[in-house]
Amino acid sequence: MNRQEIIICENLEESLDKAIGKCPFDKLFVLTDEHTRELCLPLLNKTACLQDAIQITIGAGDVHKELDTLAHVWMELSNQGATRHSLLINLGGGMITDLGGFAASTFKRGINSINIPTTLLAMVDASVGGKTGINFNGLKNEIGAFAPADSVLIETEFLRTLDTENFFSGYAEMLKHGLISTVGHWAELLKFDTVDIDYAALRALVGKSVQIKEDIVQKDPYEQGIRKALNLGHTVGHAFESLALEQHRPVLHGYAVAWGIVCELYFSHLKVGFPKDKLRQTITFIKENYGMFAFDCNQYERLYELMKHDKKNSAGIINFTLLKEVGEVEINQTADKEEIFDMLDFYRECMG
C-alpha cells in the first residue's frame, strides 16, 4: 500500500497548492456534504486551483454512507467527464473521506484523491491509514478497500466549528490511541480541559494521535498483525452502532467506540490483567462525557449476532483487541457468548 503524505497545516491554502501540484489532473472535483459545503468550502475558495473545480455534494451524516450515495458520486464523476487522470478532493468528516476515498479508488479503477478532514474524528482516524468504504446490509464498513489518499491535509482551525458531540466523537479515538501507546499520553488525554478548549494544545494532541496511528499503519498496512491494535473498542462499538441504526436512533461513531472501550477494557481486566485503577479512571472519563447507550438483556442476542459479522473474526469466532496494560496490546483474543454477555452486563451496571 502506498504511503500517504500527512501534513499538519500551517497554511491550508499553501499546503493544498503543493498537494495538488503533486497530482497532475485534467479535471478537479471537490466532494462535500451539505454541512461542509456551507461551513468549510468557503475557506478554500481563495485557492486559485479550485476556481474551476466541479463540486459534488451529498447528504450529511452516516445514514448517507451507503450504496446509493456512492453510486451518485460515481454518476456525477462520469456525467462531468472525469477520467483516470482526474483528481477528487474529499472535504468533510469521516463519512466523506470513507465514501469519497472508496469512490476514487474504484472509479475508472482508481483516480487520485486528497483528504481534507474537517472533524476531529476524521483527522485522527478516518482520513488516515487508507481504509475506505461504505455501510451495507445494516453493517458498518461492510464494503470497502485499502486505498490511501495521496495526501491528508489536517487543518485544526476547522475544529473551532465543531459542536460538543462531534468533538467528543473524535476524542474517543484519541483516547484509544492513548490507551495503546503510553501511560503519559493516556494520562494527558484524561486531564485535558474539554470544556475551555486550548486549541493550540489540542493541535499538539492531534499531531501525537495521528503519528501513533500512522506508525502502526506503516508497520502493518493491511491489518495482518499489530494494526489490529487500532480496533480496541470497535468489536463491541460497531455492534452498538449497528444496533442503533437498526433502531432508528443513530449514534456518532466515537460514542459507540467509547462505550465499546468500557466493555473491552473490562474484558481486558478479566482475561489479561489490565489494571483495575486504570480501568476505573478510563470508565469514569467516558461515563462523565459520553453518557450511556441504553439497551436491555433482550438485545444481547442481536448484539452478539452483530459482533459475529465483524471483519476481524475468523470462522465465526469473535476476535478482540485487549490490553494487558496501557501500551501493552494483546491482539487476536477471543470471547464466547457467555463472556460477551458478561461484558454487556458489566456495561449496563457500571454505566447505568
Write out the catalytic residue numbers.
Answer: 109, 131, 173, 213, 223, 227, 231, 234, 238, 253
Cell digits of residue 183: 501511560
CA 251, distance to chain mean position in Å, is 14
Using the structure block, give the residue that is written with the C-alpha cell 497548492.
17
Outline where the chain has alpha helix (H). 12-21, 34-39, 67-79, 94-106, 120-121, 164-179, 183-191, 199-219, 234-246, 253-272, 276-290, 300-308, 337-351
CA distance 58 to 36: 10
Identity of the amino acid at 259: W
Q: Which residues of 287-307 are buried (b: 16+ CB within 10 A; e: fewer)?
A: bebbeebebeeebbeebbebb
Rounded to 5 degrees, φ, ψ at 11 are: -140, 110
CA distance 27 to 76: 13
Q: What is the DSSP string of 78-118?
A: HHTT--TT-EEEEEESHHHHHHHHHHHHHGGG--EEEEEE-
Q: Is the dihedral of CA 19, 23, 28, 30 positive or negative?
A: negative
Using the structure block, give the residue that is written with the C-alpha cell 442503533.
244
Whose CA is closest to 334, among 242, 272, 292?
272
219: three-class secondary structure by DSSP: helix
Instruction: Count CB-CB contacts under 10 A for residue 350.
Output: 17
